[in-house]
Amino acid sequence: MTEVCKEVCSTALGPVEKWSLRSGSLSVEIISLGCVIKSIRTPDRSGQSADIVLGYDDLEGYLSNPRYFGAVIGRVANRIAKGRFMVEEKEYKLAINNGPNALHGGLKGFDKAVWTTEAVDNGVKLSHSSPDGDEGYPGNLNTSVTYRLEKNTLSVLYHAKTDHTTPINLTNHSYFNLAGQGTPDIYDHEVTISAESYLPVDDTMIPTGEVKPVEKTLFDLRKPVLLGSRLKEFPGPGFDHNFCLCSPGEPPRERICARMVHPGTGRVLEVSTTQPGVQFYTSNFLDGTLKGKGGAAYSKHSAFCLETQNWPDAVNQAHFPDALLRPGETYKHTTCFTFSVL
């Protein structure tokens, strides 16, 4: 059985709950501010435990959290071109907060909300109501995210319903370093992503519309690749791209999408999801100015993200998987993070 306990902490926003989940030698902390995964502690092959996600020691750090450490992103994760989209012949305009585009739900997205919580078997369910017009999005949207820790797997169940057609794309933005948070880089990690294609992007990081095979490209990660050597070959600052896990219109099913190994400690992370894509990001925009846990300066390439989600800008690209949730429908996706050692 998983141990589940709660404490209430004071912040400038008022009370924030911290939930602790423990299963054997694996422990996870969740906070109600931003629905954030605050810590994940796992043992290495010698039994030494370390926190493998970036973040802050105190809850005050999560009030601004400019790089979204550990947070749930919504209503729409990733970028929407020019901050505009059409729903039912009406144009909606969003805040522009990433170059010429809208990013991660807006100026005050789901990562800035204090969610309500309740205990469930082996975990915690967090809920948030987003009113019609919130950050420019239509419809009243009721969302829940359930974290469960069972044996060595942390599962994340996303659920939402709306009273008006709205785009939705929920993900978790945890930054991992399997050597332990605060380790300077991830160059000694080996990555595998089970994707036959990826989405090329323009110079503002919006998909061009092409769905390109990974074969004979630097995006071919179907067999284990050492990140350091691949990033040296890579044009630009690093990976920040969607890998396509299925074809548009294909019904969702859970599949293993990614595996990351740190040979030095033996830690392994395997990710499975029902989502049609995974955004692989190598923390290209961390620059050492953010001070995290233990005073660590988080620098470029000091972590990786595997953000399971719909394809970026899908609301504006008709041949991408449908990004709209309609009244009477239920948005439901699951992502699982499984931890082990070699």
Residue ranges at the known binding site for beta-D-galactose: 78-79, 173-175, 240
Which one is catalytic: 135, 241, 307, 333? 307
Active-site residue among 17, 104, 128, 173? 173
- As annotated, the binding site includes 78-79, 173-175, 240
- Produce one character per residue of 131-159: b if its CB has 16 or more CB atoms within 10 Å, e if not: eeebbbbbbebebbbbbbbeebbbbbbbb
Take residue 263 and report the two structure tokens written for it. Answer: 């040979």
Q: Residues near 318 by Cβ (< 8 Å), separated by ≥ 6?
A: none
Is residue 307 part of the annotated active site? The answer reads yes
Count of Cβ atoms closer than 10 Å to residue 101 Cβ: 20
Distance, in Å, from the CA atom of 180 to the CA atom of 185, rounded to the nearest integer, reads: 10
The DSSP output letter for 61 is: H
Active site residue 17: no
DSSP of 72-110, one letter per residue?
A: EE-SB-SEEGGGEEEETTEEEE----BTTBEETTSTT-G
Q: Which two tokens stand for residue 266?
A: 């033996």
Q: Which residues are catalytic?
A: 173, 307
